[in-house]
Amino acid sequence: MSTLGEDIRPVVTVTLNPAIDQTITVEALRPGHVHRASAVRRNAGGKGVNVASCLADWGTPVVATGLLGSGNAAAFEALFAAKGIADRFVRLPGETRVNVKIADLAAADTTDLNLPGLTADADALDRVRRTLRELVLPGTPVLLAGSLPDGLPADSYATLTADLRAQGARVVLDSSGPPLAAALAAPDLPFCIKPNRHELEAWAGAPLPTTADLLEAARGLHRNGVAVVVVSLGADGALFVADGPALHARLPTVNALSTVGAGDAMVAGLIAAFGADLPLEGIARLSVAFATAKLGCFGPNLPGADAVRALAGQVELSTL
């Protein structure tokens, strides 16, 4: 078994609807009032890009692909060059969308305004599929992450999952709404999914107010064939369901510089743990440590590996 941080297998992340995240920090958000921002940051992002960034910080080789607008690709190209991420994105005419995030320091909360972006078509998706056929070998970890751009059908992730499963890849899916539902209704299921409470409730079509409710929904997905189901609970940590007893993992609350991308950091931790062949306890510890460590950083970044390992050792685990 590998130890934490020794994973050298390349990971492929797929982001079909990336974004440039513009985070504006204010002392207290008051709708209808004029605000003076205390800080503004722009980061190349989107779920898969954020995961790739965190994995690169951890020392994992990463190849990033998906769809990018050629008009404002420079921010992504700079990130990939700085972090040593291999860039295999398909370029489309136009600009990648911009997401405005208003960080409210008083409420320790973030308000998102997601702007429209690229429109894609079947040819664009086929170009991504051809790229993946060149990149993926049996055993390759592949992340499919985020929303879909306008023009792509809801079953696009189901299509990619079927392709990747046929190539022997281990697929991690982090999406929501119709794309998640379509992927979970398909014959070829992803290896792992990581919905949050609201995303799982939307899939279930009913409120899941208690831990027992969330756990039963997650166990149902596991029984249907998803090997690992992780339900993220924000400050309450996450539930982990696989073969054997389920786990609840959490760390004490920390002062957060930014909560943006914490869920993506958790996915990066999951993939790092899978690559190191860790048991469920190790998966829970590392993924929660990634998410918590990211809270102390702006943008899709992690602190040094020693700091992440120290947090992993402090994760509180309970068997459900």
Distance (Å) of CA 103 to CA 68, 231, 256: 26, 24, 11
Residue 79: CB partners within 8 Å, gap ≥ 6? Answer: 43, 44, 49, 53, 85
Catalytic residue positions?
Answer: 264
Q: Buried b vs exposed e over 253-283: b needs ≥16 C-beta within 10 Å?
A: eeebebbbbbbbbbbbbbbbbbbbebebbbb
Using CA atoms, how far apart are residues 161 and 191, in angstroms rounded to an integer?
10
Backbone phi, psi, residue 111, to 5°: -105, 130
Cα atoms in the 13 Å half-sphere on the side-chain side of 94: 16
The two tokens of residue 200 are: 């799982």
Report the alpha-carbon angle 235-286-103, nearest 5. Answer: 35
**Which amino acid, one-letter code, is at 86?**
A
